[in-house]
A = this chain, B = another copy of it.
Amino acid sequence: MSNYFHKPRKLSDGTRQRIQQAVDALGFVPNDAARTLRTGVSPVIGYIAFELAGATTPEIAAAIEQRVSAEGMYMLMANDTGSEQRERSYLQLFAKQLVSGVIIAPVGNVEAELARMRSFGIASVLSARRAESPEQASVSIDHVAGGKLAAAHLIEQGSKRIGFVSSSLELKQVADRLNGALSAVHSAPGVTLEVIPVPERSVEAGIACADAIARRPAAQRPDALFCANDLLAIGVVQAFVSSKVVSVPADIAVVGYDDIEFARSTIVPLTTIRTPHAELGTAVADLLFAEIDALGSAGGRDGVVLPRPQIEFSPELVVRASTVPQ
């Protein structure tokens, strides 16, 4: 009866019906473990993302899922909750399960592990972070350019004293934004940049930060704030609006980062840096399929690995009322 599944065209109608009945009657369920064992491939793609709750992850995941399902495959997500150890153990789980490919937006450095997995046939794409090794495919966002865009826009609007509001500069994505902003500031004479640290990247941290700034003497306040993400920016704007001491954007202009759904529907719509999530997800999925093919055809033949694509998306500036008076 094995032909029923993999070579249906070779079966006569009679036999097909006979088997069909048996399948229905017995409630037969094919065993994927056996199939994977025999064929060495599984129809699933693994996606590991930290910060599931983040506003960007779901959109990316949906885009990947769409491409993956169009290919007749499945995407299974694992969310390490920011734990590097958990992240690794999920990578190993996927490796043991012989998934067809892995997409990972990592917390820690996983390139060595990915290289090892590649050596026995599991393709991977690094997402949201540029790979250090040329053999590792990646799709990332140019956050330096994003930071530069934001700062340049503020400078263009006449800001002279810019505050960069952020937590943990250890996260590369955030450090890049600062570096981009700094480069824009450096090429603009007379403009200064102050780093204003906050405990976390949340609305509440933004509110607290804005309150602190509002309490400064007016002369010591920055005239613009570039927040490391939209949550912070939303908190900042809200606090300023409520306090009535500082007006946005007249006294202080505010730029966020990410263009989350809320950004456009806050009380003062937020100028922000849009990172193309859906496009990124689609690109990641496409690249992964390319990697799977490459590994399947060339990978086995020799030890030489060609440099793999490292795609980088450029974010764009979205101007709204928080920097430009209406």
Contact = CB atoms under 8 A, between A and B. Distances in A.
A42 interface: yes
A120 B29 CA distance: 9
A77 B74 contact: no
Given A33-B98, A65-B81, A116-B27, A238 B262 contact: no
7 contacts: A32-B96, A74-B93, A76-B78, A202-B261, A203-B261, A238-B267, A262-B262
Interface residues of A, number: 53
Nearest to A58: B53
A33 B267 contact: no
Interface of A: 27, 29-34, 36-37, 42-44, 52-53, 58-59, 61-62, 65-66, 69, 74-79, 81, 86, 89-90, 93, 95-98, 116, 119-120, 202-204, 207, 235, 238, 241-242, 261-262, 264-267
Contact of A262 (B42, B95, B203, B242): B203
Nearest to A117: B29
Contact of A120 (B27, B33, B97): B27
A98 B31 contact: yes
A241 to B, nearest CB: 7
